[in-house]
Structure 1
Amino acid sequence: MSSAPYTYEPVGATRDDLAVCPPGFHHLYVRTRIGEGTGLFHRAAQALLTWEMHREMGVAMDTTADRAAPGVDVTVGLAGLIKAPCRVVWTADEPRRAGWAYGTLPGHPECGEEAFVVSRTGDGTVWLTVAAYSRPAKWYAHAAGPAARALQHAYARRCGKVLKRLCADEDES
């Protein structure tokens, strides 16, 4: 675990409210239906908590642990060009909700927090929610403007597609 400070406030705000968006930040909220059933939920939670979903997407996850846990440092590598240092802020591993969020550290092109949460509703439907609040921290993120936010939304939608594919054998629907 590094001692680098987070580059934003409030740290951990996505834990209780995925719709949170502090003033001055851009909000992201993408929810994807993954399927149905307890087995699918457990498979999706495992893929999420062990970085499998991200790695399956081709995202380099250089991390200090095999599983998401508070305080674990993660450097996200995108296209071999961008290295984005983060730290896991919180995790959840509950009967109907599993996931984690990381917060940005110095050197990340954005500042803010991003959460990845799998939940199972009362009717057994399993959802992936990707939620974030962020703003540019590097000149190139600022210059990208709306294009950067569009890429963030596309990334969140792709998370849902990849997780759905990873869990296809477990779907009870």
Structure 2
Amino acid sequence: MEAFNYPDVGAVSRGERPPGYEHFAYRARLGGPEHFEVAVDDLLSWRMHERSGVRLEARGDVLVQRLRVGPVVLVAPVRVLEKVTGPDRAWLTYGTLRGHPEQGEERFLIERGESVMLTISGFVRPGAWYARVGTPVTRYYQRLITRRYLRALREEAADADPGVR
């Protein structure tokens, strides 16, 4: 069993904001209420990640993500901490494992109200030496991938609700 690479495992689920990390939250409208099931399916089946340009290998609750950064392929293993679905809310939370360039957790929360909203939140800090040295670059790529996640679910939303872009 791969080990987590940070000590604050489960902090997102407990609603904690551990010190020493950058905390983030991004929120976006995905579409109308009818889009909820499609968005949840895309999240839980990893299609959101795949459409974002992240290559995946799922092994049970461990997900090995591969992201090309120029000529380099970064390997970023994570373990699913929570996968919860309900009638109007669903979320997936994962934490980084040894070998991931960063340390922390990320949660993807989809909520249905008058609209379907996606919130991506969590905490992160550099783990590998190259992530520490290249912090501005790793932050840029984290924001880029987050925008791609949002766009990947919005693309599906656009099929169900042409007014969303």
TM-score normalised to structure 2 length: 0.89
User: In the alignment, what sits opposite 2:160?
Assistant: 170
Correspondences of 1:1-173 after superposition (within 5 Å): 3-15=1-13, 17=15, 20-37=16-33, 39-65=34-60, 72-79=61-68, 81-121=73-113, 124-171=114-161
Contact residue 32 and residue 157 of structure 1 kept, 8 A = no
User: In the alignment, what sits opposite 1:68?
Assistant: none
In 1, the alpha carbon distance for the partners of 2:11 and 2:47 equals 25
In 1, the alpha carbon distance for the partners of 2:53 and 2:148 equals 11
Give the RMSD, CA atoms, in angstroms.
1.7
After TM superposition, where is structure 1 displaced by more than 3 Å over at least 4 residues in a row? none
Greater helix share, structure number: 2
Give the unaligned 5+ runs of structure 2. Answer: none
Secondary structure of 1:23's counterpart equals coil
- Total equivalences in the alignment: 160
TM-score normalised to structure 1 length: 0.85
Give the unaligned 5+ runs of structure 1. Answer: 66-71
In 1, the alpha carbon distance for the partners of 2:116 and 2:127 equals 34
Secondary structure of 1:78's counterpart equals strand
State the Cα deviation string for residues 7-33 of structure 1 (Å, max 9, x = none): 12322222353xx43100011211111
